[in-house]
Amino acid sequence: MNAIETFKQLPHKTIERLSQYRRALLICLDNNKDHIFSHEIAKIQHITPVQVRRDLMLIGYSGTLRKGYNIQELIDLIAEIIDSENGIKVAIIGMGNLGRAIINYFSGRRHKLSIVAGFDTNPDKIGSTISEVRCYDSNRMAEIIQKENIEIGIITVPAAQATTTANQLVNAGIKGILNYTPKPVDVPDGIYLEEYDMITTLEKVAFYVKMENEENQTKSRTKSASG
pLDDT digits (tens, 9 = 90+) for 27-63: 999 999 999 999 999 999 999 999 999 999 999 998 8
- Enumerate long-range contacts of 124-129, CB under 8 Å, 24 or more apart: 125/95, 128/95
Q: In this predicted structure, what is the pLDDT of residue 227?
A: 63
pLDDT band at residue 198 using 50, 70 and 90 as cut-offs: confident
Q: Residue range 167-175: average pLDDT?
A: 96
Of 117, 135, 118, nearest in space to 126 by CA: 135
Most confident by average pLDDT, 106-120, 176-190, 193-207: 176-190
82 Cβ contact partners less than 8 Å away, ≥ 6 residues apart:
15, 18, 19, 22
Q: Which amino acid, one-letter code, is at 203?
A: E
* pLDDT beyond 90 at 6: no
Q: Residue range 9-25: average pLDDT?
A: 92
CA–CA distance, 148 with 6 (Å, rounded to integer): 30
Q: In this predicted structure, what is the pLDDT of residue 63?
A: 86
Confidence (pTM)? 0.83
Give the other-Cβ count within 10 Å of 64's Cβ.
10
Of 127, 199, 129, 122, nearest in space to 157 by CA: 122
Question: Mind listing the domains of the chain with CATH numbers?
Answer: 3-82 (1.10.10.10), 88-196 (3.40.50.720)
Give the other-Cβ count within 10 Å of 216's Cβ.
10
Tens digit of each residue's pLDDT (9 = 90 or more) over 95-120: 999 999 999 998 877 778 899 999 99
Q: In this predicted structure, what is the pLDDT of residue 64?
A: 87
Sheet holding 150-155, edge to edge: 129-130, 133-137, 113-120, 88-93, 150-155, 176-179, 192-195
